[in-house]
Amino acid sequence: MYLSKPMMAALGIFFIFVVFITVLLSGTSGGVPEVPAIRAEFYLFAVTLLGVALFHEYTMWVALVGVAAVAALKFLFVDDFDFVQHFITGTAHHDGEWRVLLNLFGLLIGFAILAKHFEESQVPQILPRFLPDDWLGGFVLLVLVFVLSSFLDNIAAAMIGGTVAMTVYKGKVAVGYLAAIVAASNAGGAGSVLGDTTTTMMWIAGVPPAEVFHAFAAAVPALLIFGVICSIKQQKFQAIQRDEIGHHRVDYKRLIAVVLILAGAIAANIGLDFPAAGVWAAILIAGTFNKTHWHEIAHSMKGTIFLVSLVACASMMPVEELPDASALTAFMLGAISSVFDNIPLTALAINQDGYDWGVLAYAVGFGGSMMWFGSSAGVALTNQFPQGKSVAEWIRQGWSVMLGYVIGFGVLIFTLGWNPHVIGGGETGHGDPADHGGEVHAPTDEIPPSN
């Protein structure tokens, strides 16, 4: 975490710039920070994301500055924003954000230990024997990640895929292929209530699993597009080295640890809505018959703090209103989720109700793949591959992920159409919560317009 003097100066200038914008947007004495039609919090969040793009090697520090700036804005200008209620106690209709933040923190660090267990199980060294030659090997690996993510957490699927890629490509993994691994993990979880946090949220809210399953009608075409393109590029960058595999034996104790951790995540996700608890219980149990590599915690800490800070920042955004539920709204939510955490966006859509839940699941789940920090799977994988923490390279080499998102969405809409449902009810055109016994609550942290 050492910072050079030039970088400290750059981050200092960035901090001053953020503070300057906060003061500038605060208006005159007695005014409140608001630019016409756009709340000031969004400007600060945008500046934070710009800092992530410019200082991609120091994203943790940028995210911490950003969340501090938004918190300061809320504290100074939003009288009815209660930090204790927002982050800890919650309300009758929404848990405190501590649950999401602690869960993400535990999962990111826990899956780093999981990846180490899987790496030392020797399975990544053996698996290349069963992968095809040429670019098909890379594509089959992406398909495996896709399938794994349909019943495992997408973070775990991405980390397993990254570990195998590290082995089969001898550590030379292109940023575009990293984007493909993240996209495959997110696409595979889009149609399963166990495969992604967003779909699990829908399930808990009352959306039947069958109502998100048709997201695969978009996810599969998207996988074919970005999977083929990125696999061909990766093969040109570094070919699969099957002839250098050597002889390895599976370490079944390590493999049992992997299965135990994954089972713990699934069980705790279903039973407690807190998969991190199951992950860490399994890690401790596995530690009784395996050596646990606790140093992996330090290796993943910076990326973990970055994501948790970004999610905390996103949770304070005033996203109380959306356009009427429609295919266009879902498409835009997916695009926004590439830079804006999809958890609060999904929660907002659930409260609004009246969506085609399969379309929404694909949009908010897969949309986060278009930027490395758009999903927790991307942040976890770039902890393992720091070269992926470049917005410019992610876009330049992973452009086919964006193409896959658009084409997959189009295939879903043109083949199955837009079929909205209210939670616990039937089809609807609008999805007013009052239509199915819900209540409409006014925002609690609204900033009034400036005079």
Confidence at residue 357, expressed as pLDDT on a 0 to 100 scale: 94
Which residue's structure tokens are 């998207």? 222
Find how far residue 186's CA is from the centre of its chain. 8
Which of 24-33, 83-92, 150-159, 174-183 is least confident?
A: 24-33
Mean pLDDT of the chain: 80
Beta-carbon count within 10 A of 62 CB: 26
pLDDT higher than 70, residue 22: no
Spatial distance between the Cα atoms of 173 and 196, rounded to a whole number of angstroms:
25
- What is the pLDDT confidence band of residue 221, given thresholds at 50, 70 and 90? very high
Spatial distance between the Cα atoms of 369 and 360, rounded to a whole number of angstroms:
15
> Nearest 5°: phi and psi at 37?
75, -10
- Contacts of 80-89 with C-beta under 8 Å, sequence gap 24+, read 80/444, 80/445, 81/316, 81/444, 81/445, 86/315, 86/316, 87/312
Spatial distance between the Cα atoms of 168 and 171, rounded to a whole number of angstroms:
8
Contact assessment for residue 289 and residue 253, using Cβ atoms and an 8 Å cutoff: yes
Which residue's structure tokens are 């490395």? 372
- What is the pLDDT confidence band of residue 443, given thresholds at 50, 70 and 90? very low
Confidence at residue 320, expressed as pLDDT on a 0 to 100 scale: 60
In one-letter notation, the amino acid at residue 158 is A
SS3 427: strand
Which helix (H) or strand (E) element contains residue 35?
Answer: strand 34-35
Which of 61-70, 117-126, 420-429 is least confident?
A: 420-429
Contact assessment for residue 276 and residue 110, using Cβ atoms and an 8 Å cutoff: yes
pLDDT tens per residue, range 160-201: 899 889 888 888 999 999 999 999 999 998 998 777 778 877
Which helix (H) or strand (E) element contains residue 25?
Answer: helix 5-25
> Which has the closest alpha carbon to 261: 288, 281, 239, 246?
281
Confidence at residue 446, expressed as pLDDT on a 0 to 100 scale: 41
Which of 13-22, 228-237, 249-258 is least confident?
A: 13-22
Confidence at residue 348, expressed as pLDDT on a 0 to 100 scale: 73
3-state SS of 111-165 is HHHHHHHHHHCCHHHHHHHHCCCCHHHHHHHHHHHHHHHCCCCHHHHHHHHHHHH
pLDDT higher than 80, residue 72: yes
Spatial distance between the Cα atoms of 374 and 383, rounded to a whole number of angstroms:
14
**Structure-model confidence comparison of residues 406 and 28, the more confident one:** 406
Find how far residue 56's CA is from the centre of its chain. 17
Output the pTM of the full model: 0.69
Contact assessment for residue 306 and residue 335, using Cβ atoms and an 8 Å cutoff: no
pLDDT tens per residue, range 41-60: 777 877 887 777 677 667 78
Contact assessment for residue 134 and residue 238, using Cβ atoms and an 8 Å cutoff: no
Confidence at residue 83, expressed as pLDDT on a 0 to 100 scale: 82
Contact assessment for residue 410 and residue 221, using Cβ atoms and an 8 Å cutoff: no
pLDDT tens per residue, range 252-304: 999 999 899 888 988 887 888 788 899 999 999 999 999 998 988 888 888 78
**Structure-model confidence comparison of residues 319 and 131, the more confident one:** 131
- What is the pLDDT confidence band of residue 209, given thresholds at 50, 70 and 90? confident
Confidence at residue 433, expressed as pLDDT on a 0 to 100 scale: 37
Which residue's structure tokens are 């910072």? 3
The angle that helices 295-315 and 98-120 make with each other, rounded to 10 degrees, is 150
Alpha-carbon distance values, 33 to 27, 81, 364 (Å): 6, 14, 29
pLDDT higher than 70, residue 9: no
3-state SS of 327-393 is HHHHHHHHHHCCCCCHHHHHHHHHHHCCECHHHHHHHHHHHHHHCCCCCHHHHHHHHHCHHHCCHHH
Confidence at residue 435, expressed as pLDDT on a 0 to 100 scale: 39
The angle that helices 175-189 and 135-149 make with each other, rounded to 10 degrees, is 30
